[in-house]
Amino acid sequence: MTKIRNSIWAGIFFGVFFGTVQGFTHGINAAIITGPLSGLLFGTLIHLFVNSKVVKRQTQIETQDGESIIHSGGANHLKNSESVGGKLYLLTDKLQFKSHSFNIQNHELVIYIDQIKDITLYNNLGIVPNGLAISLKDGRQEKFVVNGRQLWKTEIEKLRAIENKT
């Protein structure tokens, strides 16, 4: 349901933006037609892309014996000014991101739970409440855009508490 909701919101935002541009450049009649149609098309294409077998295959990780995936979901990793699309996984001992190949900076990132110093939430673009910032003990900070950021934070903090007890 989250994927459908996000696709609808993406379509609405794109349709409003594109319709506004069309209104200024070609008049209100063009905006009334092209805004909703472009939003519908964009939202549909985003939904098909996110749910494609290719993206699912490219972002799949292999787990070792004894490892289990606690939580996973689509995510963007902010790397060198690019929002790299892929999937984020929380395993019992690490956080792992794997990008799909439709990015410029394809990569995998592994952050072990014992490397995490702090987890904070932030608003993407200053207004969208979907940012998760992971501060590491070595001074680096990794930022992700996720759905359900509070759930991610809570689950990571549970693992950190277990890690600190041992």
Instruction: Tell me the mean pLDDT in the region 122-139.
Output: 94
Q: What is the pLDDT of residue 166?
A: 63
In this structure, are residues 106 and 119 in contact, taking their beta carbons and an 8 Å threshold? no
Please write the tens of the pLDDT for every residue from 24-69.
999 999 899 999 999 999 988 888 877 788 888 888 888 887 788 9
Average pLDDT, the chain: 90
149 pLDDT above the threshold of 70: yes
Q: What is the pLDDT of residue 1?
A: 63
In this structure, are residues 46 and 11 in contact, taking their beta carbons and an 8 Å threshold? yes
Half-sphere exposure for 19 (CA within 13 Å, toward CB) = 20
**2 Cβ partners below 8 Å, 6+ apart?**
73, 147, 148
Q: What is the pLDDT of residue 7?
A: 79
Q: What is the pLDDT of residue 38?
A: 93
Report residue 44 as tokens: 């549909």
User: Roughly what angle, to the nearest 10 degrees, separates helices 28-50 and 2-26?
Assistant: 150
Report residue 78 as tokens: 């902010």
Report the share of the chain in percent with pLDDT over 70.
98
Q: What is the pLDDT of residue 46?
A: 80
Please write the tens of the pLDDT for every residue from 96-112.
999 998 888 899 999 99
- Between the alpha carbon of residue 4 and those of residues 24, 34, 41, 52, the distances in Å are 30, 22, 14, 13
Q: What is the pLDDT of residue 152?
A: 97
In this structure, are residues 42 and 14 in contact, taking their beta carbons and an 8 Å threshold? yes
Question: What is the edge-to-edge ordering of all strands in the sheet holding 141-146?
Answer: 108-112, 94-99, 82-91, 69-79, 141-146, 128-136, 116-124
> Does the global pTM surpass 0.85?
no
Please enumerate, as own/partner, the contacts of 109-116 that have beta carbons within 8 Å and a separation of 24 or more.
109/77, 109/142, 111/136, 111/142, 113/156, 113/159, 113/160, 113/163, 114/163, 116/156, 116/160
Q: What is the pLDDT of residue 9?
A: 80
Q: What is the pLDDT of residue 63?
A: 85
Residue type at 40?
L
